[in-house]
A = this chain, B = another copy of it.
Amino acid sequence: MEHMSSLERVVTLEEAKAALDKFWRPKPNNVFVSASQAVGWVSAVEVKSKIDVPPFDRATYDGFAVRAADTFGAAENSPVELKLVGRILAGTWPKMHLRSGSSVEITTGAPLPPGADAVVMSEYAVADGESVKIYRAVSPGENITKKGSDIKKGQTVIGRLKQLNYLDVAVLAAVGVNKIMVRNRPKVAIISTGSELMEPGTKLRPGKIYDVNTTSLSEAVKTCGAEPVVLGIISDRFSAIRAAVNRGVKVADVVLISGGSSVGVGDITPRAIGSLGRPGVVVHGIAMKPGKPTFIAVVKNKPIFGLPGYPVSALMVFDQLVADYLHELSGVPRGRKSVVQAKLATKVLSARGRRELIPVKLVGRDGQKFAEPILKGSGAITSLSTADGYIEVPLEREIVDEGETVEVKLFWGSEFV
């Protein structure tokens, strides 16, 4: 009965987060990763270039390095003849100093010799062994890529807390960086509880269903920039749950445990966690549907979130309660396209005094976006096959009218944009 009374201390989502705050705050960690594998990771520090790019004045095209002044007046029918004093290949360093009246053959990307200030493209020159005829004048700087013109030494190439995309890692390569300090991906242990659960790929026995939450929560965790650690299906026994959670707080930064948190005959998860140490369960029951039996515990300085067993419910509660902490740890921002506006297709009713989360399907009609509530609700095992996301009816609302504009929080990977 003590247990029941703790359940009756239902709190709002904000109060639940404040209660956790007293015992645990997300502390990001950093790690070095190979720059070529860094796409998707978040920079922990600003990166400045230690070199100029290009590191020297270089020929933009194949041709002849010259002093531009020497070519003035050159034209198709009045070439200028210059002495040919050598050849510079890309990847080599010029040994000569170019004097007036001279030219050096040069390949694309090769460093300009000192003294030269322009390149005449091959098309406008004809060389023999001793000299070269120039058929077009060039101005100083022409067909040259100046040292540092692309990236200057000391220039910031990657800002701090930037999720790296493929251009970023290419820029890191250009400035010679092969490893970068990034926010480490938090590890999230995932436990599914329920004697009715079986692993996909096995033969379903009577009364059993396949475990979905291990898969769906693993993927949800990845979208927050975190790394799932699958601990598998655990039966509803006290000792099994206790052992699994104990392992979770050892191997991971955060533990998710779904199912088994309602006040049914099998409600032993919070008790099993409570037995692992202080403070144990700090919140049991949030004024939210689904998710009322949701709990939050802290054991060995690691947070443990108890989520509903129904997959869509688990995903919605994960999004409301857990996702922000993982984003904070990983540095990965919530996608800008994680929320879309739509018109509500049919009126929904909600109980005052609790936040209600309703899965919706997005449909386009008459050039407008509509959110159709999936009223199978938590009674359906998945609803996954149809839901694009969910809407939130706040505590103080009892009704949201048909046609009202709502914010749909998209499940990652939704086809609808």
A residues sitting closer than 8 Å to B (CB atoms) are: 35-36, 39, 51, 53-56, 60, 62, 87, 89-94, 105, 107-111, 122, 143-145, 149-151, 157, 165-179, 194-202, 204, 206-212, 214-216, 218-220, 222-223, 236, 262-266, 309, 311, 336-337, 376, 378-385, 387, 411-415, 417
Contacts and interface: CB of A to CB of B under 8 A. Distances in A.
Contacts of A215: 35-36, 169-170, 172-173
Tally of this chain's copies: 2
B207 A110 contact: yes
Given A54-B209, A215-B173, A216-B173, A91 B384 contact: no
Contacts of A207: 56, 90-94, 110-111
A214 B129 CA distance: 37
Contacts of A62: 262-265
A122 B222 CA distance: 37
Contacts of A149: 376, 380
A302 to B, nearest CB: 24
A98 to B, nearest CB: 16
A405 to B, nearest CB: 21
Interface centre among A36, A92, A144, A378 (most CB of B within 10 A): A36
B195 A172 contact: no
Contacts of A220: 166
Given A167-B387, A207-B110, A215-B169, A381 B150 contact: yes
Contact of A196 (B110, B197, B214, B382): B110
Contacts of A93: 206-207
Contacts of A218: 36
A87 B265 CA distance: 10
B174 A413 contact: no
A122 B7 CA distance: 15
A204 to B, nearest CB: 6
Contacts of A414: 165, 167
Contact of A195 (B36, B89, B209, B236): B89
A380 B145 contact: yes
A236 B108 CA distance: 13
B89 A174 contact: no
Nearest to A36: B215
A400 B102 CA distance: 40
A413 B39 contact: yes
A177 B200 contact: yes
Contacts of A176: 198, 200-202, 204, 210
Nearest to A151: B385
B150 A383 contact: yes
B200 A178 contact: yes
Contacts of A214: 36, 173
Contact of A54 (B36, B381, B383, B413): B381
A252 to B, nearest CB: 18
A266 to B, nearest CB: 6
Given A36-B214, A151-B382, 13 more contacts: A91-B196, A92-B195, A93-B207, A109-B209, A167-B216, A170-B216, A170-B382, A171-B385, A173-B212, A173-B214, A176-B200, A176-B202, A178-B200
A36 B272 CA distance: 29
A172 B144 CA distance: 57
Contacts of A178: 199-201
